[in-house]
Amino acid sequence: MSSDKVGIIGLGAIGSAFAHRLLQAKVPVVGFDVSEAAVAALEKAGGTRAASPAAVAASCSTVIFSLPSVDALSATLAGEGGIVGAVAGPGTIIDTNTFAVTDKDKARKILADAGWGMIDCTFSGNRDMVLTGDYAFFASGDPKLIDTSQAVLDILSNRVIRLGEFGEAATIKLIVNHLGMVHTAAAAEAMAFAVKAGIDPHLFYNVVIQSAASSGAFELRAKMMADEDYTSSRGNYRIAIKDAKVIADFAGHLNYPTPLFQSAVQMHLMGVAQGLEDQDTASMGTMLERLSSAKRKPPKR
């Protein structure tokens, strides 16, 4: 495995974490991003920069997509320096994006015409979790393509869950993100409630994680709320709101009501309105503390 290059297109918070995992495992990484800072960081970490998506695909038979938008996906496929028309397969694309299944399937068909196979691989976790490998990867699509990608997936995550036909991973990820946004909003409301009641936030966190009310989302984000650390994860409201639109469209397509989710979305939008969009959504806790005039007690010495 260590002799095979892996390409990564999109070197943001998650793509760069994927690169870190692979480089730690002595797997050569070739990467592309529209950000000069991102590709410079890859080079500093020991990876190789590529001038375009096509250049990545030309040197790697396995390529990971970690892109911020459907527009970025379209540009990667058919824009200037795009994969389609410039490079013939065969090869496998591991698509980790949180996009609608219809957008992913359109990309899969375009890539198939160009000789590339594509599997739908989403995950549940943030950058910090990806860096340690302690998160769940969902893989759906052609089992043979998943087989050829298994070694890479096993490096990226310690839990690879195989699902069914192409798109099932994306569908589950949308519903997981729906639940995650509700959990984050609930954790923020509870944390601010505790502060308003005069409870030390770290004490509240430590009590809840030992109770029946805890969850993985609470353990992750309520710790950030207690510490008031909203930048280390490199997640932000823009990502959450982007995903929320896809989730809402999907639920609408199914005529499925999501009242709790819609309330959580409004709380996320409040964070954007408060100018917190570049911070992790855990900052919703501090936002609610301010809106309710809750004051943290000075820590005991």
List CB contacts of 219: < 8 A, sequence separation 6 or more. 209
CATH number of 6-165: 3.40.50.720
The pTM of this model reads: 0.89
Q: Is the peptide bond before 90 cis (omega within 30 degrees of 0)?
A: yes
pLDDT confidence of residue 62: 94
Cα 96 from Cα 169, distance rounded (Å): 9
Q: How far is CA 124 from CA 161, 174, 225, 298, in A?
A: 11, 10, 20, 35
> pLDDT digit string (tens) for 33-88?
999 999 999 999 999 999 999 999 999 999 999 999 999 999 999 888 899 877 66
Cβ–Cβ under 8 Å, residues 94 and 119: yes
Q: What backbone torsions phi and psi does residue 269 show, to the nearest 5 degrees?
A: -65, -30
> pLDDT digit string (tens) for 224-239?
999 999 987 777 898 8
CATH number of 170-291: 1.10.1040.10
pLDDT confidence of residue 232: 74
Question: Quick check: do 6-165 and 170-291 share a fold?
Answer: no
Boundaries of every domain in the chain:
6-165, 170-291
Structure tokens at 71: 């527009």
pLDDT confidence of residue 109: 94
pLDDT confidence of residue 137: 93
List the chain residues with pLDDT less than 50: 1-3
Cα 264 from Cα 42, distance rounded (Å): 35
According to DSSP H, which parts of the chain are helical?
Answer: 13-24, 36-45, 53-59, 70-78, 101-113, 127-132, 143-156, 168-196, 201-208, 216-227, 237-253, 259-273, 284-291
